[in-house]
Structure 1
Amino acid sequence: MTGRDLRGLRAYLVIVAACSNGDWGWTTEHDSAVWARLMDIDKPSNSQSARTGAWRALCRLADRKLIECGRSGTMIKVTLLREDGTGIAYDRPKDDTEESQFMQIPTTFWTHDRDEKLSLPGLALFLVVAREKHWATLPAEWAPQWFRGSLTPAKAA
């Protein structure tokens, strides 16, 4: 969030979703064109610039120690690291302490294009609310002050 990288945050969420079953050691591999489509980079650009944009977004996440990534030809392999930026290998949350709780994002988040409709502050707010327990309430009267601009449509990344 501090890097104001909407494309990077969207990419990170896609990686977490792609690795969520843990069958391949928290690693997923796709062609760079697939990564571009997953990040919605393919729409406004040509094929090569979309592939380059996908690689650059993934490299920014690697610089932040959220993932490890490498490529061979057009294939890009990504391994998820802990979300705290320490560079430590990822491990599934155990949900036994406050720090190890996890959240689930429904697939409708992507299938109904909600990821494309939220601005960076809006996406941050969504993640905060998704992390809270179902009984948690956020006072609506404070929303404009706390989350200015959060509900405005996303601008081009």
Structure 2
Amino acid sequence: MATTSFLDPFEGIEDAPEPTPAETRTALLQQARRGYVPLRKEFVQKRRGEHDEPRGSVLGSIVHSRQQRGLDAFLLMHALHPVTRDDPLDVKTWARILSVGNRCTPNAASKTFSVLEEMNLLTREQDGRRTLISPLNETGDGTPWARAGEDSEEDGPGFFVVPHEYWTSGLSEKLTLPGKAMFLVLLHDTQTPTTPTFSVALERMAKWYGISERTAERGYRELDQAGVLIQRPVKVLDHRHPAGRRTVHHRALMSPFGTRDRQRLQLKTRKAVKKKAERMSTVGGGR
């Protein structure tokens, strides 16, 4: 009598390997597609006023209060907003992606978002068991957030961009708060082709950015050790100086964070958006 072999209907169906927090973060960033996150420059520095007053802004406050995890959460909140706006993440998932390099519990993640809420950088609402997190204006004035491009051009004077490679390359884990702060300051001040280098003296950092001279020095050192900083000291004329010249330190970020790299990244994204819009228009017109 012939026997019939048993066919396992579940053959080939296996549990997926558990992703690391870094893999989860990268996957979500890839879903955002843009390749970078635009931020208003006023997050780093207030606009120039009529009087010679301190221009430190939200970034300086975050550094002063030593909120490194708060800065990490703020940047990721904006980077992932394209994919979390309509499909919010659970606080446990936020804790997971904030655990890259340093474990973050759901309770710690919740406390971090509470700090950002107190700084008028986001709002939180309960949706059943989920907490809906929505960004407010980066200036901390509590006004509603608007996507870059709706109230100004994202590559214009009011914005600078943070490439997603800040996270996917592992740079975000190599830097502590001083390094992260100076990275953002350099991105802020070298956004346009006419300003590819940064040359603000250390003694002006506190007044211009709300960051102490010592913190700025530590930040530069971290960026240099991470291999993303280029520096060149140049002698300039100064007839008040005893030697008739003084040294100005020019600094810039290396690829993939340099000014030209960011310009190319933005151009690539604009072309992709335009191509998608044209394709959608063609499909709609053919109905």
TM value normalised by structure 1: 0.75
**Is residue 84 of structure 2 the alignment partner of residue 29 of structure 1?**
no
CA contact (8 A) 1:41 1:53 kept: no
> 1:80 and 1:36, CA in 2 relative to 1: closer, same or farther beyond 3 A?
same
CA contact (8 A) 2:123 2:136 kept: yes
CA RMSD of aligned residues (A): 3.0
> 1:10 and 1:40, CA in 2 relative to 1: closer, same or farther beyond 3 A?
same
Distance 2:84 2:73 in 1: 20
**Is residue 180 of structure 2 the alignment partner of residue 113 of structure 1?**
no
Aligned residues: 143
Instruction: Tell me which residue corresponds to 1:89.
Output: 144
CA contact (8 A) 2:101 2:173 kept: no
CA contact (8 A) 2:100 2:173 kept: no
CA contact (8 A) 1:68 1:80 kept: yes
- The partner residue of 2:196 within 125, 136, 148 is 136
For structure 2, list consecutive stretches of 5 or more residues without a partner in the other structure.
1-61, 206-212, 224-287
Using the aligned pairs only, state the percent identity: 24
Q: Deviations over 1:9-43 (max 9, x none)?
A: 01000001011x3894xx76211111012222795
**Is residue 114 of structure 2 the alignment partner of residue 59 of structure 1?**
yes
Q: Deviations over 1:36-86 (max 9, x none)?
A: 1222279536xxxx0001100011000000000134465221111001111
TM value normalised by structure 2: 0.44
For structure 1, list consecutive stretches of 5 or more residues without a partner in the other structure.
none
CA contact (8 A) 1:68 1:81 kept: yes
Instruction: Tell me which residue corresponds to 2:42.
Output: none
